[in-house]
Chains A and B, each alone.
Chain A
C-alpha cells in the first residue's frame, strides 16, 4: 500500500483559503498573465523595429485607457511575481519556512507589489512630464 499515506493536493472547493494557498494561486495566475504580456512586449519591439508609423499605432494603444489599464495590471503582476518569486527562492534555500515567517513574508509581498507598482507609475508619468 505505497499510495496510501501520500499527501494529497488541496481540494479547492472544500479548502479554507489561507495566505499561503491564495498567494500560491495568484503566483500562478500572474505567471500566466505575464506570459501573455510578453506578446505585448514583442509587438512593441517589432513595431519599433519596423518603423515610425507602426510604432505610433502601438504607442496609441498603450496610451489609450484600455492600454494603460492592461499595462497597469501587467506592472502589478510583474512586481507581484517578482516579489513572490524571491520568496519562493528563499524557501528553496530553506529560509522562512516557519508558519509565522511565511505569513509575514506573504504580507510583505502583497504590500511591496502594490507600493512598487505605484512608484513605477508615478516615475513613468514624471518621465512624460505629466499627462
Chain B
C-alpha cells in the first residue's frame, strides 16, 4: 500500500482535522481511564440496585465515591463528546450543519456533566431540599 498522506500533508504533519493526533490521543486516554472507572461504576450500581434515596445519598456522601463519581462523569462525557464528534464528521456532509451539530454536542456535554457533578456534590455535602 502506498502512503495515504499527500506530500504537503506529510510536511505539515497535522492531517485533515488540522490538530494532529490530539483528538485521537484524548480519546485513547479517556478510554483507558474509563476501563477501571466503568467497572467500579457497574459494581456500585449493582450494589445500589433498588436502594432508596437515603442509601443512595449516604453512598455519595462517602468521599471516595463522590470523587470517583465526579471523575467518571467528567471522563465519560469527554469521551462521549469526542466519539460523537467523529460520528458527526463522518456522516454529516453539509459544512454548516456539521459545525452546528459538533458545537451542539460539545455544549450539551458540558452542561449535562456540570449538572451531574453538581448533583453529586449536593448529595455529598448533604444539602437536601
Q: Which residue numbers of A lie inside 8 Å of B, CB to CB?
A: 2, 5-7, 28, 31-32, 34-35, 38-39, 41-42, 45-46, 48-49, 51-52, 55-56, 59, 63, 75, 78, 82, 85-86, 88-89, 92, 120, 123-125, 127-128
Interface of B is mostly: helix
Contact B2 A49 (CB under 8 A): no
Interface of A is mostly: helix
Q: Compute how far the CA of A112 lies from the CA of B83 in the bound complex, rounded to whole angstroms.
A: 23
Q: Identify the 10 closest CB pairs spanning chains A and B, nearest first.
A: A49-B119, A128-B50, A45-B119, A124-B49, A35-B80, A49-B122, A55-B53, A5-B2, A42-B116, A127-B49
Count B-side interface residues using an 8 Å CB cutoff. Answer: 41
Residue in B closest to A85 when the chains form the complex, CB atoms: B31
20 residue pairs of the A-B complex, CB under 8 angstroms, read: A31-B83, A38-B77, A42-B112, A42-B115, A42-B119, A45-B123, A48-B119, A49-B118, A49-B120, A49-B122, A49-B123, A52-B52, A55-B56, A59-B52, A75-B42, A82-B38, A85-B34, A85-B35, A88-B31, A127-B46
B61-109 with Cβ < 8 A to chain A? 73, 76-77, 80, 83-84, 87
Q: Compute how far the CA of A58 lies from the CA of B85 in the bound complex, rounded to whole angstroms.
A: 30
- Contact (A89, B56) CB under 8 Å given A82-B35, A82-B38: no
For A6, give its contact among B4, B50, B118 (CB under 8 Å): B4
- Which residues of the other chain, A, contact B57 by a CB distance below 8 angstroms? 48
Closest chain B CB from A15 CB (angstroms): 16
Contact A125 B116 (CB under 8 A): no
Contact A127 B28 (CB under 8 A): no
